[in-house]
Each structure stands twice: as C-alpha cells, then as structure tokens.
Amino acid sequence: MNLSTHGAEAAARASAEPWDSTGCEALIAELQVLRESMLEHEARLAPQLAGVDPAYRASAANLAHYLALRRYDLRRVQERLAGIGLSSLGRAETHVLANLDQVLGILHRIVGRDWASRRQEEPAGLGQGGRLLARHTEALLGAAPAERSARIMVTLPSEAAQDDTLVAALVAAGMDIARINCAHDDAAAWEAMARRVRHHARRCGRPVRVLMDLGGPKLRTGALRPGPAVAHLRPERDALGRCLQPARLGLRAMGDAGEVPGAALTLAVERNWLEALDAGDRVELVDTRGRRRRLRVAERRSAGVLLECRRSLWLGETTEVLRAGDTRGARLQALPREPGALLLHRGMRLTLQPEREAHPADPEAALPAIGCTLPQALAQVRKGDRVWFDDGHLGGVVRRSGTRKVEVEITHAREGGQKLGADKGINLPDTLLDLPALTALDLADLPAVAAHADLVGLSFTQCAADVQALRTALAALPGPSPALMLKVETRRGFEALPEILLAAMAGPAAGVMIARGDLAVECGFERLAEVQEEILWACEAAHLPVVWATQVLEGLAKTGQPSRAEITDAAMAGRAECVMLNKGPYVVEAIRTLDDILRRMQAHQEKKRPLLRALKAWA
C-alpha cells in the first residue's frame, strides 16, 4: 500500500534539494499519516492487546505499530530520509513509534517548527525495545554465554538416554538448550535424557535448558511391505579389476547374537552344520542369479566362521551353503530386508488412503498406493491441491478426491523415477487442514513433558487457538507450566503469525521456532529466504526470541565436512536469538564450529544492522 495521495502530491512538489523546507514539509505530512495509521491500528487491536500478559503490553503495542508500518511501501520515503541523513526507519522493529517520532522531531527542527515530546504515546523507547527483547530471551532461553548472545540448541539422539559420554561432550562443547523430539522414543527415555543433561550442566557449572517437542499432527506415509531379504557382497578391486580384498561373509549359529569380526555381513546357519567347518574348508553355494560360487573358510572364531570369496555374490532366503563334497547343506538365515518403497515416475498416479497396519500397501501392486497416518486429512483435500512428499523431493497434484482416499498425479520426480518409502512427510500447502494442534498422543505425553521440560514445543502451530489449547492443557496439570516454543512450519501458520504472536504474549514466556524444513515445502523453496526474514522482523517487533532451525551445518554434523553455503547460512543465523543443530555423528564438532562462527559474527552484525567494527585485515 502506498501513502496517501496528498503525500504523493506533496512529494512531487518537493525541491530536488533534500534540505529544502518544501521537501521536509512533504516528508512531515507523509510520516504524520503513517503515525496516525499506527495509532489507529493499535486501537483496532485493543481487544487482543488487552489479553496479553502485563509483561508484554508494551511489546504487543509495538507489534501493532510495526504491522501498520509494513502495510505501506516506504521505499521512496526511505530514500528521501537517507538523503537528508536521517534514520530511514529500516531498523525500527523494536521501537517503531519512537523511531518515527525521532525522525519527525528532527524534521520539525529543520523547518523551524516546534516539536513536543510524545513519549507518553510510545510503548517502547529508543533503547527500551532492545532491553525488552533481551529480557524476554533470557527468561525463555536462559542467560547467554560470554561473547555470544545467540544460544545453541541441539537435538539429542536416542543414545543420549544412556550415553553419559555423549551428553557430557555436547554440554562441554557449548550446547545451551537440549531439544528432545517426542515424536521418537518414550517418556522413560525423555526423562533419562533430561536427567543426564542437567547432571552434566551442573558439573560444567553452566545452565542448559531442556526443550521437549510434541509430535503434533504430522502427516506421514504409512507402512509398506518390506522388500525381499537379499544381500549383495563383492570384493574390493583396483582400477584394473584385480582383487585387492575378497568379499567376506560371517556365519554364526542360529540363536546366537553378535557379528563375526572382519565380516561385511554376518548371517545365521544351523549350529551342527557350522560346528563341522574348519579353517581352510571349501564351501559352495548357488546365488540368487543362479551363479555357482566357491568360498574358503578363512578363520574360525568364537563368534563363528569367516568366509572369503573372490567374486561377487547375491544371497537370498533360498540360498543354501554346502561344504565341498557334502550332500547336506544349511539354509542361510537372518538376511536383512530392504525397506519397502514405491518407485514413482512423472505422470504416474498414486493413491493416498488411510493407513492399514495389518495390510500395508504393496509396492508390487499395479496401482501404487500408500497409507496416510492422519486419514482425517484426506477428506479435506480437494482436486487441484498440491501434495509434497519427503521434504519436497517428490510432488504431485490431486486429480481425484474423496472422503476416504485421493488420487495424486506425480508431477515432480527425478528422471528415471524416484522412490517413496514409509514414514516420509506429507505436505498439503493448498489444503486448509482442520486438525487439532494437540493429538491424542500429545495429550497423553504432556504430563511427562511438563514434569521434565523447561520448554514445550508446539509443532505445526496454525493459529491463536492452537496456542490457547496448549496453555489450557498445561494449566490443568500439577506444578508450574513450562514455557512455550511455537513452531511455525506451515503456510497457514506463517500467514497467521501476528495473531499467534499475540496469543503467545498472553502467557509469561514464549518464543518462535522457524522450522525451515516444512516451511520451505509449504511456502516454496524460492520464498523461504523472504519468509524467514519476515518472521524474524515480526518477532523482533514483538520482542519475542526466535530459533533458527533445520539443516544448520547439516553436512558437518552428518559427514564431518561442511559445505561453503552452510557456513554462510550459520553466520546469518546469528541474527536469531538461538540456532538449532540437528543430530549427527559429528554434532560435537558442529557445536564447536557454530560457537566459533557466532562469536566472530557478533562483532559484525546485530539482527539486520551491520556493526562498523574496525577492520584489522586492511589496517
């Protein structure tokens, strides 16, 4: 929206000289219109503002002013203000009205007009807004470590319930908040994780808070029949095809556990047959392709025997092994099964149906079909709605809808087809889903969560009613309620962000997590950058802390080697109050790297304002 026609006409009459009184008068007129619209918007939101906690009254009013400010296209006004050397309102989030009044006051002095202070109308002064954000952040996330204002959150793996060494390393490396994903494991494991985190935090002498994320109404693909029980072993060869190391197969007795050392794969066979084997014996088999293979018993160990073969072999459930010269063999047991998956090509049709655990979808069926873990969502899908699977790697459009099932035409898949497995996310960005914020499982989990968490995460927050539902459920439980972390991960949640923020301010402590994974799929990958910026700005105006989440230093955490792009992403993440790392075998290294990046960048930027630190590199 542009400013009034009066303002535009005044701007057109303004002199090209920026300090000319006519130009300044035109700016005064336009900014006065903007100021009046801010106060009008605050008055319209009075019923919602009256419902916020007293600690957030000033923040809620400032948010109302910011929302009014961003209704206008102010780019030309900003250019003219910058030309005079005044604040262009580009850093006004924490103190919107105070910043505008400061500019108006200077413009009045330039043209020789009187200006009376209007501080009584300003909910947050020039320095007060930043202090409010810092106070709310500390109340939610705890005190910041020295030389780093952005906290580091880490998602705990399941092993954290038993592995003291791992938890101690995470705390020592710089973890400030431990995130427990309640979509996995159980209440006993969550309690064990929280207990270990607090124990090692005390030992390190530093506070570490615990966030427990409720699973929420996450749509996922249902079970698929597993693939065949088959294994492929092959020798290691050099560039000329010569065998450097034979394929190694371990055999253990049925009923025993454990792996044969040195074997790429350990399978089970009948005990009596296995005990008759000695080192140096020859074993024969016919693999699943009908090819005869000979293996040599390289070693006999307490766990079983180690066989070697200089050619590749495929082993299946019908594969029988015989000692050379014998007529009686043994059938291979305990072969691994490949997870079930549907191979889908562009143009194919896929049926989404209610999940039936007793009869999972068959990947070999003529018409591919897969279950949906929340079948009530299927009745809300309409023809033409887009459907995304597996974090946006596979997509389609609904061609036929119904109350029980929908038919999707695959429109986005890799050349040659793409596999869709069980337990993969389903996103419906065009569908207005009416699903409860708290599932029956969430409500069952809530007592354990409230008893052990400092913060509880509300997944897929869609509207103010979702926030209110969680607060009501927590209030019904004994003891103090944990603080709230509201995860914005759908387009509907992003579009309802102002009302979600006002609902968050109805209680004592709350924050927002930008869950960039689902959010990118819902809003479009090309829009993610601007969406996450807008969430950062709105939350800063509300003086609410933000967690920057999903795929931060993911390559480093999973492989030990970061990409260049994710290092830059981690540096930009420092504009949030907290940055989240996901689990991975190298997550301790990822914490140390993120800690170093955030400390370095803190001297260069704060939110979206660059800081002019002395640049020693060019001294």
Q: What is the pLDDT of residue 139?
A: 96
Please state, in angstroms and as integers, the Cα–Cα distance from residue 523 to each residue in 266, 282, 512, 566, following that order.
46, 61, 17, 21
Phi, psi for residue 17 in degrees, rounded to 5: -75, 115
Give me the mean pLDDT over the 476-503 stretch.
95
Dist. CA 52–CA 48, nearest whole Å:
7
Tens-digit pLDDT profile for residues 200-219: 999 999 999 999 999 999 89
Q: Which residues contact 93 (CB under 8 A, 6 or more apart)?
A: 66, 129, 537, 540, 541, 607
Dihedral over alpha carbons 442, 448, 451, 453 (to 10 degrees): -60
* Cβ–Cβ < 8 Å for 488, 512: yes
Dist. CA 581–CA 547, nearest whole Å:
10
* pTM score, whole prediction: 0.86
* Cβ–Cβ < 8 Å for 323, 272: no
DSSP state of 93: G
Q: Which residues contact 369 (CB under 8 A, 6 or more apart)?
A: 350, 351, 352, 353, 361, 362
Cα radius of gyration (the chain) = 31
From the list 538, 546, 541, the residue with the least C-alpha distance to 516 is: 546
Amino acid (1-letter code) at residue 261: P
Sign of the CA dihedral running 270, 271, 276, 282: positive
pLDDT at 105 over 90: yes
Tens-digit pLDDT profile for residues 66-104: 999 999 999 999 999 999 999 989 899 999 999 999 999
Tens-digit pLDDT profile for residues 9-67: 555 444 445 678 899 999 999 999 999 999 999 999 999 999 999 999 999 999 999 99
Q: How many CB atoms lie within 10 A of CB 385?
A: 18
Mean pLDDT, the chain, whole residue set: 91
DSSP state of 290: S
Give me the mean pLDDT over the 299-308 stretch.
93
pLDDT at 411 over 50: yes
Helices 528-541 & 516-523 angle (0-180, nearest 10): 120
Residues in the chain: 619
Phi, psi for residue 359 in degrees, rounded to 5: -135, 70
Percentage of the chain surpassing pLDDT 70? 94
Report how far Cα 149 is from the mean position of its chain's Cα atoms. Answer: 21
Q: What is the pLDDT of residue 500?
A: 97
Please state, in angstroms and as integers, the Cα–Cα distance from residue 584 to each residue in 160, 230, 395, 426, 513, following that order.
12, 28, 27, 24, 20
Give me the mean pLDDT over the 581-603 stretch.
95
Q: What is the pLDDT of residue 328?
A: 87
Strands 209-213, 455-458: pairing is: parallel
Plot region of 32 (φ>0 → left; ψ -120 to 50 → alpha; else → beta): alpha
Question: What would the DSSP string read from start to end of 292-327?
Answer: EEEEEEEEEETTEEEEEESS-EEEETT-EEEETT-S
Dist. CA 408–CA 500, nearest whole Å:
32
Q: What is the pLDDT of residue 603?
A: 84
* Cβ–Cβ < 8 Å for 511, 545: yes
Dist. CA 99–CA 122, nearest whole Å:
9
Give me the mean pLDDT over the 248-270 stretch.
94
pLDDT bin (cut points 50, 70, 90) of residue 364 is low
Give me the mean pLDDT over the 376-394 stretch.
94
pLDDT bin (cut points 50, 70, 90) of residue 339 is confident
Phi, psi for residue 200 in degrees, rounded to 5: -75, -25
Give me the mean pLDDT over the 395-400 stretch.
96
H-helix or E-strand spanning residue 457? strand 455-458
Please state, in angstroms and as integers, the Cα–Cα distance from residue 19 to each residue in 11, 34, 116, following that order.
13, 21, 22
Q: What is the pLDDT of residue 324?
A: 87
Q: How many CB atoms lie within 10 A of CB 187?
A: 16
From the list 361, 414, 405, the residue with the least C-alpha distance to 383 is: 405
Amino acid (1-letter code) at residue 409: E
Q: What is the pLDDT of residue 407?
A: 95
Phi, psi for residue 372 in degrees, rounded to 5: -125, 130
Sign of the CA dihedral running 38, 39, 43, 46: positive
Q: What is the pLDDT of residue 152?
A: 98
pLDDT bin (cut points 50, 70, 90) of residue 268 is very high
From the list 326, 327, 325, 329, the residue with the least C-alpha distance to 272 is: 329
Q: What is the pLDDT of residue 61?
A: 97
Dist. CA 315–CA 62, nearest whole Å:
68
Structural tokens at position 10 = 């005044």
548 forms beta bridges with: 514, 579
Q: What is the pLDDT of residue 367?
A: 78
Percentage of the chain surpassing pLDDT 90? 83
Amino acid (1-letter code) at residue 312: S
Q: What is the pLDDT of residue 1?
A: 63
pLDDT at 177 over 90: yes
Please state, in angstroms and as integers, the Cα–Cα distance from residue 338 to each residue in 99, 103, 218, 341, 422, following that order.
61, 66, 25, 9, 12
